[in-house]
Structure 1
């Protein structure tokens, strides 16, 4: 550990931050990280790349009214350099790009201020950025922004994103057309002639390494000669879009290391930030910490990973940081706290309130029930309730919020009626809140677990031709490539039929309802059946069907009872979703809940069949149209004389 003071060296074309442990060189005034010098290595970043393609902030933007999740890719280059802090303990430097009307249609209408910080005795550096859109400026869409680091391919071969998700990785050259075979979408390739033969026959796809925000706090790469680690640490989720379950990219073949702040992955256009005419907006992304460590053992990457996890905890406990110089980053004494207890009241589970054990409780911008999962303009602050339902949310930025919650084991979303106004230093006790999940009557039968994921259903083994060895015998078996094609093999002629009382959803309910391939270029929709018995039944009864979806992608769900050809169907969702979860191995995207009345006149005493049809199958992306179910429940009438013969 060096005790050397932090130095700032300003040159014509470069700026260097140096604390005796590492040196970081940035282009002046662009603010692109061109070199990171550490532990005897002259540059950890890919020296074969142009300087602008090493360490950079980027974004994707499009004109207002544009449809979709793509747009113009922009590596953000500053036009003005400024020193914000310079002393023996800290350097903070700023690279700004101001927008003016002469740039309309050429540059995203944002003022952008990229900041970089180095502290004394710190084995790394921090970066954050402030984006600002003025009211009078043109509206626009912002599908994505992030910070990207591209490391030296001859040095960094081992990647780690979780205790059970780490491995030696292929080289970027292995993805070249000469060494790989293109698969169903551009990100996925089959390695047919890799430089290292051990990777032959594997699939490489960056989406196989996606991670939920709530678990995405440290990931990166290890070099074994010399043994050093390069880690991206995100200590807070407050500036990320979409809430705790939103999935983002992490690290992938490159070797590339990302910090994603805003993206439409696993959600589609719902998570594209769209600024309206006359709408001002300002947001600070980060700081994130780029942490470097070293070890003496050149054969085992685990000490570097373990140390990176410890450093991550240190950063989390230090949040909010005291050192950022921007007035847009509020320290702890300018923030507030909220606490309380959540209880669940489902009278058909218990006559008494039960603690919201493990409930997700969060503050997000005011909106409708469940709107937090589609929010991408504001800040969000989430926690998990303890086994008694108590929760505490610390260090919330000033502003007006709604309090939202949902609890694994129960369907639906909760929103507290009153707006919560956070002011500096406030400690708000919301006291007891009670969530009453949707419920009309007793459970006649249910399929799955209400947890917003399809992971509990049957996830098949991958085609042996398309394997990622990391996910063989792995809890995240759904991350293998091409699993949607296995439906066709399991159900070549007839669709899935599930019998209440005898079928087992862990073995008999395929994790995704996808189209069936008819021939090389055409697909057809699929209709699944749920067979169930009713007895002591009256035609005057109305039953309630609850269907929670874990994801939807250009899909429609039609519901019919006892007549597979009924036109119109009893219920249809219409065409919903752009999550692309099926292609990207995500097991869930956005959550949808439907509550459907089933008139007794459609039912019979004895055997009944519920038909679930997903007809969408006609675009070039037909294999990826479809649904993942989270949970299905049929409820009897509240004064029920009805009951099922099986539960």
Structure 2
């Protein structure tokens, strides 16, 4: 014990540059320096070791070393070889009207390497009987891994008041001296300035402009690094000079609220690295457990994965391989917790989705999202339980492996097809593999398609700025680019150029923001005008916030649409938030054989954040 306390003291001090052997001797934890190349042969796996005193617990496996604080459950220091990668302690927090953290948690060691031959270390920091929920944070270290693994269990006993959580996350701040390049995906792989670079807030407050140094005038915003949850499993930071990478890696998104299109934070300026457990940004749901409801959920697992290599691209490729290995090994066999469903408690579902639409013979289920979730509410608004989503292949075949046993509704949606497919009453049995066969989806139609604008893919990416939207202040370009608002002529206009990605407000000379009116011009035909019955304007929205939409057909009011979801996606540099769709019916006799006009009047003003973001528009006539 005396030896550990001496080690703890020395590791908090600044070390000489060449102090590997001295630190090794003092730590006594057999930490080996790593090879400089990712392609070098890895060292033989060493047993996990654990040492503890009244203040800290230290885990090591010969590759990495982690120091955990007993009083807070925080990860105080994390070493790869001889380099300490953190600038501040890493912590778990959750937001239930205010930020909550573990405070004086009970500490237990359910897997003690001193008793299991170094096969595994697991340390749990549990907070019970305080507030609406009980929270347990698990740290796990295994032999031969350059990683520290984690998962959290949130529980709501029956005797607690209502629990309402907007966000939960694990926050890591990395060393400014070792890391400078954020790496979220192929598009967002860029160097960012030091953490102490001066900034000014632009509005919203997360949009920051650097005011000094070589980065002066540049803008950063944490929302520029948000990503869709469905296909994302790795993000992190790398260092050009240090040749280090630090990554959040995980193998499943089943714990995520809001389904595969829900957007969450990853990493951003000031060397922040995040694992989001639950998130209500972009209109995603809060996690709500009413008073009297018993609820328990496992979030994770995830890992802090460390690597070394000659180039940032090589470090990312290695992290992606690790993420693929985590997915292939799902469900994680090393977790032993009653709330986590192991492989024996799970089953599979497979089938083939086929789209049959006589008016769109080329429609296909290739690449469709197919998922299992609760029957209600909309899967975008589900948070308490688990969802299981996969991508279909080019023929629409899908296989959902390792789903938790239970009853579900199967959902599917795909780019190019309006709406979604549903099949209720799907039962997953432990150890079973249900074959649903061919599932035929005939998308709903109300008549003959007269025209369409956009692609039904739940985003605005095909419209102007939709393919390059992660910039602050795009709404300021609208008055210059569309001085007369959008006027779109079917058969002549190009939606990539002539349809803005969002219908925003416009500031007048008095500084007040007012709503805008967009017009769609098209030629009707005599048959449609005389057919009788209703025409239907199909409107699909990629996002909305604070909007009221009045629809006029040749000057006649067809509908006033209210109660849209609020998601703030446009002001947060997104091209989608909460998807919704509305059908507007009107007598086909309102149409005429010549030129027709449909006006889309967004009536709400007062702020730039009020907007409508269209996904797709289609007019169907009898």
For 1:552 and 1:604, locate their aligned partners in 2 and report how far apart those are by CA, in whole Å.
Answer: 31
Instruction: Work out which of the residue numbers 101, 105, 120 in structure 2 matches 1:90.
Output: 120
For 2:601 and 2:320, locate their aligned partners in 1 and report how far apart those are by CA, in whole Å.
Answer: 46
For 1:252 and 1:510, locate their aligned partners in 2 and report how far apart those are by CA, in whole Å.
Answer: 28
How far has the Cα of 1:281 moved from its partner? Answer: 1.3
**Alpha carbons of structure 1 residues 78 and 570: separation in structure 2 relative to 1, 3 Å:** farther
For 2:102 and 2:159, locate their aligned partners in 1 and report how far apart those are by CA, in whole Å.
Answer: 22
Matched, 1:432 2:431: no
TM-score, normalised relative to structure 1: 0.86
Aligned to 2:4: none
For 2:275 and 2:502, locate their aligned partners in 1 and report how far apart those are by CA, in whole Å.
Answer: 29
State how 1:128-167 maps to structure 2 within 5 Å: 128-167=151-190
For 1:215 and 1:322, locate their aligned partners in 2 and report how far apart those are by CA, in whole Å.
Answer: 22
State how 1:452-463 maps to structure 2 within 5 Å: 452-459=458-465
**1:29/1:81 contact within 8 Å kept:** no
**2:566/2:578 contact within 8 Å kept:** no
Matched, 1:555 2:540: no
Aligned to 1:471: none
**1:92/1:325 contact within 8 Å kept:** no
Aligned to 2:407: 400
How far has the Cα of 1:337 moved from its partner? Answer: 0.3
Aligned pair count? 574
Instruction: Work out which of the residue numbers 267, 283, 296 in structure 2 matches 1:251.
Output: 267
Aligned to 2:221: 205
* Aligned-residue CA RMSD (Å): 1.6
How far has the Cα of 1:422 moved from its partner? Answer: 2.0
Aligned to 2:9: none
For 1:515 and 1:543, locate their aligned partners in 2 and report how far apart those are by CA, in whole Å.
Answer: 29
Secondary structure of 2:166's aligned partner? strand
For 2:511 and 2:76, locate their aligned partners in 1 and report how far apart those are by CA, in whole Å.
Answer: 46
**Alpha carbons of structure 1 residues 519 and 154: separation in structure 2 relative to 1, 3 Å:** farther
**1:59/1:76 contact within 8 Å kept:** no
**1:135/1:280 contact within 8 Å kept:** yes
Matched, 1:328 2:354: no
Aligned to 1:303: 314
**2:179/2:244 contact within 8 Å kept:** no
Aligned to 2:17: none
Aligned to 2:583: 595
**1:266/1:589 contact within 8 Å kept:** yes
How far has the Cα of 1:2 moved from its partner? Answer: 4.3
How far has the Cα of 1:180 moved from its partner? Answer: 2.3
Aligned to 1:614: 602
For 2:293 and 2:342, locate their aligned partners in 1 and report how far apart those are by CA, in whole Å.
Answer: 27
Aligned to 1:470: none
For 1:379 and 1:535, locate their aligned partners in 2 and report how far apart those are by CA, in whole Å.
Answer: 50
Secondary structure of 1:224's aligned partner? coil
How far has the Cα of 1:534 moved from its partner? Answer: 0.8
Q: CA offsets, 1:190-230, max 9 Å, x none?
A: 11213xx1x22111111111111123211111133431110
Aligned to 2:24: none
How far has the Cα of 1:431 moved from its partner? Answer: 1.6
Aligned to 2:376: 367
For 1:2 and 1:583, locate their aligned partners in 2 and report how far apart those are by CA, in whole Å.
Answer: 51
Moved more, 596-605 or 390-399: 596-605
How far has the Cα of 1:29 moved from its partner? Answer: 4.3
4+ residue runs over 4 A deviation: none
**1:149/1:256 contact within 8 Å kept:** yes
How far has the Cα of 1:372 moved from its partner? Answer: 0.9
Secondary structure of 1:25's aligned partner? strand
How far has the Cα of 1:387 moved from its partner? Answer: 1.9
Aligned to 2:253: 237
Q: CA offsets, 1:129-183, max 9 Å, x none?
A: 1101012210031000011101112221111111232111122222xxxx32220
For 1:146 and 1:2, locate their aligned partners in 2 and report how far apart those are by CA, in whole Å.
Answer: 34
Secondary structure of 2:600's aligned partner? strand
Matched, 1:21 2:32: no
Aligned to 2:395: 388
State how 1:43-62 maps to structure 2 within 5 Å: 43-46=84-87, 49=88, 54-61=89-96
**1:114/1:129 contact within 8 Å kept:** yes
Aligned to 1:358: 367
Secondary structure of 1:326's aligned partner? coil
Q: CA offsets, 1:219-264, max 9 Å, x none?
A: 1111334311100002111001111111111100120000112111
Secondary structure of 1:453's aligned partner? coil
How far has the Cα of 1:394 moved from its partner? Answer: 0.1
Matched, 1:546 2:560: no
**1:336/1:394 contact within 8 Å kept:** yes
For 2:518 and 2:141, locate their aligned partners in 1 and report how far apart those are by CA, in whole Å.
Answer: 58
**2:538/2:618 contact within 8 Å kept:** yes
**2:248/2:303 contact within 8 Å kept:** yes
For 1:56 and 1:333, locate their aligned partners in 2 and report how far apart those are by CA, in whole Å.
Answer: 32
How far has the Cα of 1:366 moved from its partner? Answer: 2.2
Secondary structure of 1:306's aligned partner? helix
